[in-house]
């Protein structure tokens, strides 16, 4: 048992799939700062190498495309034994229900549901007792937005998987899910800067905390789920109060 409030990860191996950017990178940095040995994974090798070097302390980079079943098996072998697996990697697709192409929907499920599913399954034999898996969903599972039916559904699927695995993998391994609200990250990098800032502002205004989130704030929640020994099967909302926001802007 650790002293109250201490999220100590000394001697632990933390693997962050999605660690090259956004919330994953912030989680990797925070875990390393708490003493963990960290491995970063995602598809972009150059970015992984850059982030691993910036974090330092022996941070490793093992590239992975979660949608490639054979690649996932090889990745698990390369990563080796671990304590905490975090899967923040995903991709999103938006569009009206009647118009969104099925290929976009199945591509999103491949990256945000089946990818994390098979990645967690491949890593499972290597996760030590007392370890954890942390998945990512998002507010849209329970507070839907227009043109986000597919994204809401895939988030709901991840939350369902979390609860089922918490039951099946306990007591050795805890399984939880973080559900972020809108957070400034590379997820929105493709948007024109002005449109993006307007979106952050409009969403922020609608929230009890009157702003969107920062990646570090979500990383802190991931560390809590990794280190709190009595939390499993939880979906932790880190969303500035999005779940309780007023339905019309103030």
Ligand X SMILES: NC(=O)c1ccc[n+]([C@@H]2O[C@H](COP(=O)([O-])OP(=O)(O)OC[C@H]3O[C@@H](n4cnc5c(N)ncnc54)[C@H](OP(=O)(O)O)[C@@H]3O)[C@@H](O)[C@H]2O)c1
Residues that bind ligand X (CB under 6 A): 18, 20-24, 42-44, 47, 64-67, 88-92, 111, 115, 136, 138, 180, 182-183, 185-187
What span, in angstroms and rounded, lies between the C-alpha atoms of 228 and 159?
A: 19
Q: Select 65 or 217, whichever has its Cβ closest to ligand X.
A: 65
In the complex, what is the shortest distance from the CB of residue 81 to ligand X, in angstroms, rounded to a whole number?
A: 21
> Of the two residues 127 and 135, which places its CB atom closer to ligand X in the complex?
135
Nearer to ligand X, 179 or 227 (CB): 179
Least separation in angstroms between CB 132 and ligand X: 17
Q: Cβ closer to ligand X: 86 or 173?
A: 86
Task: Name which of 35 and 71 has its Cβ closer to ligand X.
Answer: 71
CB of 119 to ligand X, least distance (A): 8
Question: Closest distance between ligand X and the C-beta of residue 35, in Å?
Answer: 23
Least distance (Å) from ligand X to the CB of residue 2? 27
192 vs 25: CA distance, rounded Å: 23
């Amino acid at each position: 048992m650790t002293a109250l409030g201490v999220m100590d990860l000394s001697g632990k191996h933390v693997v962050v799939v999605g660690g090259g950017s956004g919330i994953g990178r912030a989680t990797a940095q925070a875990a390393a700062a708490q003493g963990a040995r960290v491995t970063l994974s995602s598809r972009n090798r150059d970015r992984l190498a850059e982030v691993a070097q910036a974090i330092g302390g022996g941070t490793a980079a093992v590239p992975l495309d979660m949608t490639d079943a054979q690649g996932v098996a090889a990745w698990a072998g390369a990563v080796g034994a671990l304590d905490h697996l975090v899967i923040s990697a995903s991709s999103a697709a938006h569009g009206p229900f009647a118009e969104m192409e099925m290929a976009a929907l199945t591509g999103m499920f491949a990256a945000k549901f089946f990818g994390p599913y098979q990645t967690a399954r491949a890593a499972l034999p290597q996760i030590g007792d007392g370890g954890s898996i942390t998945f990512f969903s998002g507010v849209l599972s329970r507070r839907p937005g227009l043109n986000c039916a597919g994204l809401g559904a895939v988030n709901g699927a991840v939350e369902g998987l979390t609860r089922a695995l918490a039951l099946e993998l306990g007591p050795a391994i805890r399984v939880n899910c973080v559900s972020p609200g809108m957070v400034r990250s590379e997820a929105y990098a493709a948007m024109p800067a002005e449109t993006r800032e307007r979106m952050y502002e409009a969403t922020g205004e609608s929230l009890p905390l009157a702003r969107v989130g920062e990646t570090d704030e979500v990383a802190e929640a991931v560390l809590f789920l990794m280190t709190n020994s009595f939390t499993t099967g939880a979906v932790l909302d880190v969303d500035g109060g999005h779940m309780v926001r007023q339905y019309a802007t103030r």
